[in-house]
């Protein structure tokens, strides 16, 4: 009843159960084209990461922007889900472990061009031993640690060559190249720092490939990537592919890093106003931390957006933040201290949209995506979740 | 191969894909009995909240501890899921909104004894208007704000009586009672503060019920609850039911509040060691923030456990913390600064267990629970997720 006099967009949104995950398809396309264009200008190739959305239709949109070959996944479940939907060139970019060998082999057996990564001679030996008894041959990239972020071998250390030799010489494993992820780029605050991070990621990876080749070992794939460094890099000489994922959606963390504008963010969460605390200038909504995730990535950044920046249903920014969250309650309050909220502007049952801190974490809370195009909900896309 | 010489427990865990959500059934039973015993000693009745586990089998274990009547849910999806499994006395404890009216009515129509809550006359009027056209009669509790936590009317204010009258007089809605949740009790640091919080929750709720009755209105249900206050309360006079949820599982936040010991925590996440950074004293695992959730509730508490305290597969505490998380990578490091890790004690492919900050958030990442009894994995239980 409260939405009868609203325009078409509001009407279609009003039919959605809330909380709901909304995707602005126009923004998705623009984001995908933007990175594809940048990588093309450097004569590079993308291998888009699907871990943010885990959605076949989104992956196809990203692929349609061009200059992409294959996909990157963060779980074997993603690999299986996308392979079942026709994606057959898949890099599983998280270090493999023994209890996942059989599942990876099953994909290879079904014809998937799956490649994997690891960073120890012990794991390579375990994989080769598995292949010796179970069969299969695993194209394997050596993971490099180029910025101290988490996993990977030192590009300048002895293990690189030892591991390269092992992968090249043992049956059941194939040395397919090197890969890294410049995860520390998320902490950059300036364009200069981003460029330095991107060049370090590239330089150390290209140098590791050169060391392998100088030792007489093959290194066909030289794979780098993170959304911040993918946009910042200015020369891809020596690099065969760039992996990035969150750029298709973007989020408030990326906006704070300076990689996108708030108006580029393609993902939002639709919530319903369920009540007020007038004395405290709070709107209460049905979107709590299950709807947005517990990710508070902007808490340590330039602008802290709480659990999210707030839009109206048309996508216009409001001077509000989602300031707190319980499991199924959101609290929305003025973005600027000392300001009030005219609650009459937000009647009970009316809807708001919340831009997330971290698109990967927020999307991870949902099994489907409501797709908006030119302001109207046009589709519902399924997505994967879990492992 | 690395688990062949280990005892039975390790062998059954070794067969699980990781990350996996583990439930120690013996601890679950003990936790359920502990609160049931306390409430029974006060001649009270529990209405257990299922939002932490969203699992029918867990709810049955909790019910088996006795002194319980009905369940509490945080979403209509939980209501539908549990009703389909034979639970027919359900209180939906999150403020209702217009786009959920039809779904709630469908449950009533199917014979579910569903009660709902709201905290504004406007929402009550919308619900009555819905019932006038669509039919149905909604047993409705007035939500009270007894501690400034989030939603609810002032127990001492005029709205309480106005809303009570409206619910009592209008067709399609029935005044069923009052409810509150002492969410601020999570911030208590001492037994004295917990007792004060519990008494305030009880006193203000019982007083609101008395105000309604003094105005000639019915108030059959007087419902209070949160895990910390449910354990702290010392007298339930005037209260008809106590709602609590996380107590069946417990977590590190609850241990920090002092409501449980670390050894009471029934939920953990099984992860696999995938690599090392020896120079930094890091183990890398396949359990990242998708596996534990982004909840860092202990960050602001007495002891900050990072993303979780670490156990071996037998459940013994190790001097390790999960110190950082990427989407699918966990970093485990020494709990005490300056200590090292003997990585040879944690071979690649070996498993560890991580106790979560917040059981509700961590369980929310999973669709099933691996159940352990007397140290052996005995079952897999499905759970609900989403809305």
- pLDDT of A253 > 60? The answer is yes
Strand partners, A266: none
Using a CB-CB distance cutoff of 8 angstroms, which residues of chain A are in contact with residue B119? 275
- pLDDT of A9 > 80? The answer is no
Q: What is the model's pTM?
A: 0.96
User: What CA–CA distances, in Å, run from B187 to B193, B254, B256, B297?
Assistant: 9, 10, 10, 11
> How many CA atoms lie within 13 Å of B84's alpha carbon, on the beta-carbon side?
11
Q: How far apart are CA B132 and CA B130, in angstroms?
A: 5
Least CB-CB distance to A17: which of B18, B99, B126?
B99
CA distance B18 to chain A (A): 8
With CA atoms as reference, the chain A residue closest to B273 would be A97
Residue B387 to residue A361, Cβ atoms within 8 A: no
CA distance A349 to chain B (A): 6
**CATH placement of domain B8-22+261-381:** 2.40.37.20
CA distance A143 to chain B (A): 11
When pLDDT is averaged across residues A136-141 and rounded to a whole number, the result is 97
Residue A338's pLDDT is 85
Q: How far apart are CA B286 and CA B274, in angstroms?
A: 6
Residue A4's pLDDT is 39
Please work out, in degrees rounded to the nearest 5, the angle formed at the alpha carbon of residue B317 by the alpha carbons of B313 and B323: 95
Residue A324 to residue B122, Cβ atoms within 8 A: no
- pLDDT of A1 > 60? The answer is no
CA distance B41 to chain A (A): 30
With CA atoms as reference, the chain B residue closest to A154 would be B277
Using a CB-CB distance cutoff of 8 angstroms, which residues of chain B are in contact with residue A119? 275
Long-range CB contact pairs, A82-89, < 8 A, 24+: A82/A50, A82/A56, A83/A107, A83/A110, A83/A112, A83/A114, A85/A56, A87/A56, A87/A59, A88/A112, A88/A113, A89/A113
When pLDDT is averaged across residues A304-309 and rounded to a whole number, the result is 98
List chain B residues with pLDDT less than 50: 1-7
Top-ranked range on mean pLDDT: pick from A13-17, A285-289, B182-186? A285-289
Share of chain B above pLDDT 90, in %: 93
Residue A289 to residue B1, Cβ atoms within 8 A: no
With CA atoms as reference, the chain B residue closest to A143 would be B275
- Whether omega before B71 lies within 30 degrees of 0, making that bond cis, reads no
User: What CA–CA distances, in Å, run from A39 to A264, B262, B314?
Assistant: 19, 50, 50
Q: Residue B317 belongs to what H/E stretch?
A: strand B317-325
Residue A328 to residue B272, Cβ atoms within 8 A: no
Q: Are A99 and B18 in contact (CB under 8 A)?
A: yes
Closest CA to B273 of B287, B261, B260: B287
When pLDDT is averaged across residues A359-387 and rounded to a whole number, the result is 95
Q: What is the 3-state secondary structure (H, E, C) of chain A?
A: CCCCCCCHHHHHHHCCCCCEEEEEHHHHHHHHHHHHHHHHHCCCCECCECCCCCCHHHHHHHHHCCCECCEEECCHHHHHHHHHCCCCEEEECCCCCHHHHHHHHHHHHCCCEEEEEECCHHHHHHHHHHHHHHCCCEEEEEEECCCCCCCCECCCCHHHHHHHHHHHHCCCEEEEEEECCCHHHHHCCCHHHHHHHHHHHHHHHHHHHHHHHHCCCCCCEEEECCHHHHHHCCCCCCCCEECCCHHHCCCHHHHHHCCCCHHHCCEEEEEEEEEEEHHHCEEEECCCHHHHCCCCHHHHCCCCCECEEEECCCCCEEEEEEEEECCCCEEEEECCCCCCCCHHHCCCCCEEEEECCCHHHHHCCCCEEEEEECCEEEEEEECCCCC
Q: What token pair was written down for A84?
A: 């079942």
Number of H helices, E strands in chain B: 12, 16
Q: What token pair was written down for A59?
A: 């992956």
With CA atoms as reference, the chain A residue closest to B98 would be A349
CB under 8 Å to A183, separation ≥6 — which residues? A147, A149, A150, A226, B326
Q: What token pair was written down for B346?
A: 């944690």
Residue B12's pLDDT is 87
Using a CB-CB distance cutoff of 8 angstroms, which residues of chain B are in contact with residue A293? 293-294
Q: What token pair was written down for B349?
A: 């492919």
Residue A275 to residue B364, Cβ atoms within 8 A: no
Residue B337's pLDDT is 84
Q: How far apart are CA B310 and CA A214, in angstroms?
A: 43
CB under 8 Å to A46, separation ≥6 — which residues? A35, A36, A39, A67, A68, A69, A230, A241, A242, A243, A244
Q: Residue B8 belongs to what H/E stretch?
A: helix B8-14
Residue A259's pLDDT is 97
Closest CA to B253 of B188, B331, B336, B317: B188
Q: Are B96 and B127 in contact (CB under 8 A)?
A: yes
Backbone angles phi, psi at A94, to 5 degrees: -115, 135
CB under 8 Å to B219, separation ≥6 — which residues? B164, B175, B177, B178, B209, B212, B213
Q: pLDDT category, A362, cuts 50, 70, 90?
A: very high
Residue A183 to residue B367, Cβ atoms within 8 A: no
Closest CA to B152 of A282, A120, A261: A282
CA distance A387 to chain B (A): 8
Using a CB-CB distance cutoff of 8 angstroms, which residues of chain B are in contact with residue A145? 277
CA distance A39 to chain B (A): 25
Q: How far apart are CA B380 and CA B373, in angstroms?
A: 12
> To which residue do tokens 């679950």 refer?
B28
* 3-class SS of residue B164: helix
Residue A51 to residue B386, Cβ atoms within 8 A: no
Q: How far apart are CA B126 and CA B139, in angstroms?
A: 14
Share of chain A above pLDDT 70, in %: 97
Q: Could you please state the CATH topology (level 3) that the domain comprising B25-248 is classified under.
A: TIM Barrel (3.20.20)
CB under 8 Å to A347, separation ≥6 — which residues? A2, A273, B122
CA distance B40 to chain A (A): 28
Q: What token pair was written down for B378?
A: 């005995």
* 3-class SS of residue B357: coil
Residue A34's pLDDT is 98
> To which residue do tokens 């490649």 refer?
A115
Residue B5's pLDDT is 40
A26-248: in CATH 3.40.462.20? no
Torsion of CA B250, B254, B255, B260, to 10 degrees: -60
Q: How far apart are CA A276 and CA B123, in angstroms?
A: 11
Residue B151 to residue A327, Cβ atoms within 8 A: no
Residue A8's pLDDT is 52
Residue B10's pLDDT is 57
Least CB-CB distance to B150: which of A74, A329, A360?
A329
Best residue of B92, B103, B116, B151 to probe chain A, by most A CBs closer than 10 Å: B151
Strand partners, A138: A173
Q: How far apart are CA A99 and CA A108, in angstroms?
A: 16
Least CB-CB distance to B126: which of A97, A151, A348?
A348
Q: Are B124 and B171 in contact (CB under 8 A)?
A: no
- pLDDT of A294 > 60? The answer is yes
Best residue of B133, B327, B364 to probe chain A, by most A CBs closer than 10 Å: B327
Q: How far apart are CA A75 and CA A73, in angstroms?
A: 6
Using a CB-CB distance cutoff of 8 angstroms, which residues of chain A are in contact with residue B286? 94-95, 97, 100
When pLDDT is averaged across residues A155-176 and rounded to a whole number, the result is 98
Residue B375's pLDDT is 81
Domains A8-22+261-382 and A26-248 share a fold: no
Write the DSSP string, B328-352: S-EEEEESSTT----GGGS-TT-EE
Residue A99 to residue B18, Cβ atoms within 8 A: yes
Q: Could you please state the CATH topology (level 3) that the domain comprising A8-22+261-382 is classified under.
A: Lyase, Ornithine Decarboxylase; Chain A, domain 1 (2.40.37)
Residue A5's pLDDT is 41
Q: How far apart are CA B90 and CA B69, in angstroms?
A: 9
Q: Residue B1 belongs to what H/E stretch?
A: none
Best residue of B290, B360, B365 to probe chain A, by most A CBs closer than 10 Å: B290
Residue B3's pLDDT is 39
When pLDDT is averaged across residues A323-334 and rounded to a whole number, the result is 98
Q: How far apart are CA A162 and CA A145, in angstroms?
A: 16
Backbone angles phi, psi at A352, to 5 degrees: -135, 165
CA distance A192 to chain B (A): 25
* 3-class SS of residue B10: helix
Q: In angstroms, how far is the first alpha carbon of chain A from the final one?
A: 42
Residue A122 to residue B348, Cβ atoms within 8 A: yes
Residue B274 to residue A361, Cβ atoms within 8 A: no
Residue A295 to residue B289, Cβ atoms within 8 A: yes
Q: What token pair was written down for B160?
A: 């309480």
Least CB-CB distance to A349: which of B98, B294, B364?
B98
With CA atoms as reference, the chain A residue closest to B145 would be A277
Q: Residue B271 belongs to what H/E stretch?
A: strand B267-277
Residue B280 to residue A148, Cβ atoms within 8 A: yes
With CA atoms as reference, the chain B residue closest to A330 would be B150
Using a CB-CB distance cutoff of 8 angstroms, which residues of chain B are in contact with residue A361? 289, 294
Q: How far apart are CA A318 and CA A309, in angstroms?
A: 8
Strand partners, B380: B370
Best residue of B16, B53, B95, B226 to probe chain A, by most A CBs closer than 10 Å: B95
Residue A349 to residue B99, Cβ atoms within 8 A: yes
Q: In angstroms, how far is the first alpha carbon of chain B from the final one?
A: 42
Residue A97 to residue B14, Cβ atoms within 8 A: no
- pLDDT of A143 > 70? The answer is yes
Q: pLDDT category, A6, cuts 50, 70, 90?
A: very low
Q: How far apart are CA B147 and CA B136, in angstroms?
A: 33
Sequence ranges of the domains in chain A: 8-22+261-382, 26-248
When pLDDT is averaged across residues A135-161 and rounded to a whole number, the result is 97
Using a CB-CB distance cutoff of 8 angstroms, which residues of chain B are in contact with residue A282? 150
Using a CB-CB distance cutoff of 8 angstroms, which residues of chain A are in contact with residue B96? 274
Q: Are A242 and A222 in contact (CB under 8 A)?
A: no
Residue B329 to residue A150, Cβ atoms within 8 A: yes
DSSP label at residue B68: B
Residue A96's pLDDT is 97
> To which residue do tokens 């690099």 refer?
A239
Please work out, in degrees rounded to the nearest 5, the angle formed at the alpha carbon of residue A38 by the alpha carbons of A34 and A40: 115
A340-352 confidence digits (pLDDT tens): 899 899 999 999 9
């Amino acid at each position: 009843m409260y939405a009868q006099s609203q325009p078409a967009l509001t009407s279609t949104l009003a039919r959605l159960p809330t909380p709901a995950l909304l995707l602005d398809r126009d923004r998705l396309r623009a984001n995908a084209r933007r990175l594809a264009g940048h990588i093309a200008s450097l004569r590079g190739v993308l291998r888009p990461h699907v871990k943010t959305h885990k959605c076949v239709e989104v992956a196809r949109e990203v692929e349609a922007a061009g200059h992409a070959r294959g996909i990157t996944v963060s779980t074997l479940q993603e690999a299986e889900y996308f392979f079942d939907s026709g994606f057959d060139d898949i890099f599983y970019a998280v270090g493999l472990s023994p209890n996942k060998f059989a599942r990876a082999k099953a994909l290879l057996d079904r014809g998937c061009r799956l490649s994997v990564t690891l960073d120890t001679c012990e794991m390579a030996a375990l994989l080769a031993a598995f292949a010796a008894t179970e069969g299969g041959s695993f194209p394997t990239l050596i993971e490099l640690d180029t910025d101290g972020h988490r996993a990977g071998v030192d590009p300048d250390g002895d293990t690189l060559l030892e591991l390269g030799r092992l992968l090249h010489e043992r049956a059941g494993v194939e040395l397919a190249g090197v890969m890294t992820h410049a995860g520390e780029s998320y902490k950059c605050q300036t364009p200069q720092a981003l460029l330095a991070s991107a060049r370090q990621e590239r330089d150390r990876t290209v140098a590791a490939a050169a060391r392998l080749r100088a030792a007489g070992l093959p290194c066909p794939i030289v794979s780098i990537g993170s959304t911040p460094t993918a946009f910042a890099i200015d020369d891809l000489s020596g690099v065969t592919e760039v992996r990035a994922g969150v750029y298709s959606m973007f989020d408030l963390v990326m906006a704070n890093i300076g990689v996108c504008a708030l108006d580029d963010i393609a993902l939002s969460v639709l919530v319903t106003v369920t009540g007020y605390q007038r004395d405290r200038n709070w709107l209460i909504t049905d979107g709590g931390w299950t709807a947005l995730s517990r990710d508070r990535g902007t808490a340590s950044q330039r602008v802290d957006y709480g659990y999210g920046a707030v839009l109206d249903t048309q996508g216009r920014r409001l001077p509000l933040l989602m300031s707190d969250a319980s499991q199924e309650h959101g609290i929305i309050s003025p973005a600027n201290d000392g300001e009030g909220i005219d609650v009459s502007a937000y009647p009970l049952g009316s809807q708001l949209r919340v831009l997330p801190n971290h698109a990967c974490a927020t999307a991870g809370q949902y099994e489907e995506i409501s797709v908006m195009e030119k302001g109207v909900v046009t589709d519902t896309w399924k997505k994967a979740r879990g492992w």
